[in-house]
Structure formats: structure tokens, C-alpha cells
Structure 1
Amino acid sequence: MLAETDGPALSLGECFVVTSIDRRFVEFAGVMLHTLALNGDVDEANVVVFCDGLTRKDKAHLRLCSGHLRLTLFELSEKTLRQFHGLKTNSNWSRSIYTRLVLPDLLGAKEGRLIYLDADTIVVDSLVPLLKLDMAGMPVAAAGDVSEQDISRLKLPDGTKTMNSGVLLIDIREWLSRDLSRACLEIVRSQAARLKFYDQDALNIALVGQFAPLDRRWNVILHAHVDDPAIIHFTHDKPNSVRCQHVAQPLYLQYRQATPWAKKALKPRWHKRVNRLAHSLRRLFGG
């Protein structure tokens, strides 16, 4: 794991914790914000949720979950959304996933640190050590490994590490200096055929392994065993579904008890098929 920096103390006022959602991920974002307020130690950081089509009720629920956090709900503009027009989506990932490729630009910040969290995460320990990690001059830090399958699919050099982009630590100045937003969007448009994980693949192609490694405790995915988890990530089936096999699902549901979704029934096994059908119909009729 990377060491903490020895330089001047980082002001949390210069830091951001960010996610981006449409209506399908409001519950997850609400539970994540609740855990961030309870466990994240980021009271002075700027917490931002980029919103695509949320209702007033959705936003009220998110504010309720955020407690004492310095929360901003930022509605994605038509100008921003036009950047994503025509980019690949599916029943799991909507156009809002591409927001993470342009976060420093959207925030208008020129420097500082940014933690991006997928909405389907929960925070179970302080994020301060993460914000203070020495990134060794890299624009991004993420959990990753060498995957021969990813290397082949993305046509990367042998031995290149690839990341999971569900948790990212971004050095805003370095990101902007390398013009990564433009580079990633160009990759998504020009190399769409080879992209299986869309925005994540674009980041991996753009960075070619040039990212700082994070310890797995910052992004604990399905079947991973970590003694001291800090951020748990519900990849695959979601924790509000009977299909979820993540060992931390009971913990998610425990935190959910303090949110507006406390009494909501778990989604049935056929829910994903309905989502796929709905997505196909939206594409068919131009929705």
C-alpha cells in the first residue's frame, strides 16, 4: 500500500468526495452517503452528487441521508450530457457513468484531491488515510492487478495493470495537465467495439497502467477477503436484491435501516431481466 504523504497537512476543504447517479441508483447513493457521514471522517470535504433526472423527492432523500456532510446536488446540464450522446449504455450502466471521465472539469477545480465512489459502495472506515496517500506523481490511484484477459481485450502491453474504477483517488492538477477527460472520451467514441466496461476500459486504455496502486481495503469486491475493509463495493448483483451474494449484504441492509428505504422489499430474481427488457424498449423507441 502507498505511504501517507510527509508534506503539509491536506486541507479537507480542498478535497471532494463525488458520485454520479440517475434515478435507478438513488437508494444506493443514499445508503452510501449515510455511511460516509457516519464513518468517513470527511465533514469538511466537499461532497458532490451529480444527478441525471432525479426528482425533488429523490434529492430530499439524499439530503436526509447525508446528515452533517457538506453536500451539493449538481444537476447535469444539457451541455454536459451532450458530450455523452451516442456513447454505449446497457441495462446496468446509463449515460451517467461517463461523468467520472470528466469530474475535474465539471467541478471547476484546478487542484486538490478527489475521491470518486460508485454509488453501490458503503464506507466503513475513515477516508482520511486515502486522501493523504502519496500518489507518486500519478493522476489516479485505484485498486488493480494484471489481467491477461483485459490486456488482450484492450490491446495493452504485456504486464500492464488494469484498474477497477469503482473507487478512484484523483489528483486534480495531474489529471488536468494530462488532459485525461478529452483522451478518455475520445477512446470511448473511437474504440467502442472493444469496450466491455465502457468508462473503466477507457481509463485503462488512456493510462496504460500508469496509476498508483491502492490496497484492496479501499475497494472490497465480491468474494474478496480483507481484514480491515474501508470501502465495500457491491459489484455484480446489488445488495437490495435477493440475487446478491456479497458477504457484506447484511451490513448494507443494516445501514439501510436508517434511510427512507428501510422497509423496501428486496428485488426479486427476475428484476434484472425486466431491466434488460426496459432498456431494449427504450433503445427501440429512442428513449
Structure 2
Amino acid sequence: MNRENTINIVMASDNHYAILLGALIKSIEVNHKTSEKINLYVIDDGISKDNQEKIRASASPEIVSIFWFKTSNVIPENIKIPVDKSAFPITTYLRLFAPYILPAGTERYIYLDVDMIVLSDISDLWKTDLNNNLIAAVQDLSETAGSPWGGIPNYKELGIAPEAKYFNAGMMIVDVVQWLKEDITNKVIQCLHDNLESVNFADQYGLNVILVNRWQALDPRWNSFSILDTKDPFLIHYLDIKPIFRSYKSIPRYQDEFYKYLRLTPWKNHKPIPDYVRMSRKAINKVRKIMSAYLK
């Protein structure tokens, strides 16, 4: 375990979801009660200068130090991002490259999707014992590799047991040293290319194939899905329609929680936006993913 009095967190965002990043950062800061400082590494997938300033203003520099990395400098030139069938943006794949942006000697980090808020002290998550596993995560809604609607569609062909537990990759504690030693990033990307017809949830598919039975299961409250009414969640993950949209349809009080933290940021006057904006972004994500693949 990293003995330094610093918590390392990695996030990735495009400009559309910069507002989510602001609320997430503020929620971490507000609920962090112990003495550790937080180093936040942001993979910037086209965040505007104005939104970058808002993100900086969402964090107290006495507690949070922010380090920025452009997508173009994060993905190696020889890497070709798979063009899967989903509407997940390219930004989703950036978590695969997180270990390469961290300072030499870093032992672990927490990865968080931006569509989250943290309601408990992040230091409790940081101190998790990985028990010699490569990552720690929370079991996904689909629960197992053999799930009829999620999981790993071609688990039989891959020789994976249907009852093998399947994790959600939106929140992970990662052993950097072991990840790099085993070249997990390239193994996941190759897995995606080799099984493209079965890829259902972007890189989460590949991570679960490569890390099957090699992850530490955490208390589900550390990745509480917004469609479920969980008692005392530690972290809320807005899996479905994000709380910034009028069409948000998950647990209502979770949207209220999101806006509680957003009001502490420069986006404090934000109002939920029309759904046509969300749908147009999904279409743009698909086009951008295809164009990126052809340009590589």
C-alpha cells in the first residue's frame, strides 16, 4: 500500500460532462475528514478552458491538487481504440491508460467515472486491502459472467465459468505496479479487438475477461447504482440518464444529492437540460468513435 499521506484519484472527462466532474470533486472534498491530501489526475478529453477553470474552482487547493493530461498525450500512437457497437464515448476507454500518467513510484490509485458523487470519506476506500488482487471493485448489476443480459456474452468460448463474478469498472482501486508488470492495458485492448462482436459495455467487457477471478469485491455501497434505492450509500453512480438532464428517471433523492454538491461549484445555477441534447451527444459519440478508429 502507498504509505504516503496522499490519495491518488484518476478521472477522465470530455467537455459535455465537465459539470459532473465539478460535482464529483466537490463531494469528495466535502466528505473527506482525515488528513490526507488528494492528488487528482484528470484525463482531459476536450474540456474547454472555461470549464477547466470551473473545475479548478470546484476544489480547495489546500486539499486537492489537480494535474491535467490531454487525451492526445495519453493514448500511444500505435494503439487503435476498438469500434464497438455501444454509444459509450471514447472517453470511457481512457481509464485503461491511467497507470501511465501517474508519477514513477506510485503504488495504487482510485479510478472514478465522472457520473458519480462520493458521500463517505474517500480515505476509507483508499485504505482497502487488495488481498493480492490486481484491483478492487463492486459487483455489477449483471452480477456474473453468464448474465443473460450483461456479463460476458461469449464466456463459454473463452472458458469462463458462468458463475464468475462480474464487476462494474466505474470505480476501481488499482495496483499500479502489478498492472504495469502484466501489461494489462494492452491485454484488454487486444481482447476487445479479438472479441469485438461480443463487446457490450466497452472496455468493461475486456477488463472482466482479463481480470476474471482476480479482483477484490467491495461493499456494494462503494458503487451504489442510482436506479436502486440503497440505504446509506457511500458513492452514487448515475448509470442511466445523468442528473443534469430533465429526463433523469432514477431515484429522485439521488438527483437532489447531486445538486446539493453542484450548488457548491461555479455551476451552482445550472438547471436540468432538455433530452434532445443528451440524444444528440450519443449520436456524436458513435460518429467520433468511428472516425477516431479510422484516423489511427
Would you call these one fold, judging by a TM-score over 0.5? yes
Indicate the RMSD between aligned Cα atoms, in angstroms.
2.5
Determine if contact 2:227/2:250 at 8 Å carries over to the other structure: yes
Amino acid at match of 1:137: N
1:262 maps to which residue? Answer: 268
1:148/1:221 CA distance change after superposition, 3 Å: same
Q: How do residues 23-62 of structure 1 correspond to structure 2 at under 5 angstroms?
A: 23-41=15-33, 43-62=36-55
1:71 maps to which residue? Answer: 66
1:79/1:264 CA distance change after superposition, 3 Å: closer
* Counterpart Cα distance in 1 of 2:70 and 2:287: 26
* Counterpart Cα distance in 2 of 1:87 and 1:209: 24
1:5 maps to which residue? Answer: none
Write 1 or 2 for the structure with the bigger share of strand: 2
1:190/1:74 CA distance change after superposition, 3 Å: same
1:276/1:158 CA distance change after superposition, 3 Å: closer
2:153 maps to which residue? Answer: 153
Of 120, 127, 130 in structure 1, the residue corresponding to residue 122 of structure 2 is: 127
Determine if contact 1:10/1:132 at 8 Å carries over to the other structure: no
* Counterpart Cα distance in 2 of 1:219 and 1:83: 33
Q: Any idea what SS the aligned residue of 1:47 has? A: strand
1:60/1:200 CA distance change after superposition, 3 Å: same
Of 249, 253, 256 in structure 2, the residue corresponding to residue 250 of structure 1 is: 256
Higher mean C-alpha deviation, range 136-145 or range 81-90: 81-90
* Counterpart Cα distance in 2 of 1:76 and 1:195: 23
Determine if contact 1:23/1:53 at 8 Å carries over to the other structure: yes
What's the TM-score, normalizing by structure 1? Answer: 0.87
- The alpha carbon displacement at 1:164 in A equals 0.5
Runs of 5+ unmatched residues, structure 1: 1-7
* Counterpart Cα distance in 1 of 2:289 and 2:183: 32
1:178/1:78 CA distance change after superposition, 3 Å: closer
* Counterpart Cα distance in 1 of 2:50 and 2:118: 24
Runs of 5+ unmatched residues, structure 2: none
- The alpha carbon displacement at 1:79 in A equals 6.2
- The alpha carbon displacement at 1:252 in A equals 0.5
1:218 maps to which residue? Answer: 222
What's the TM-score, normalizing by structure 2? Answer: 0.85
Q: Any idea what SS the aligned residue of 1:270 has? A: helix
Amino acid at match of 1:141: A
Aligned length: 279
2:12 maps to which residue? Answer: 20
Q: Does 1:98 align with 2:93?
A: yes
* Counterpart Cα distance in 1 of 2:91 and 2:289: 16
Of 109, 113, 116 in structure 2, the residue corresponding to residue 118 of structure 1 is: 113
* Counterpart Cα distance in 2 of 1:141 and 1:283: 29
* Counterpart Cα distance in 1 of 2:112 and 2:268: 22
- The alpha carbon displacement at 1:279 in A equals 4.3
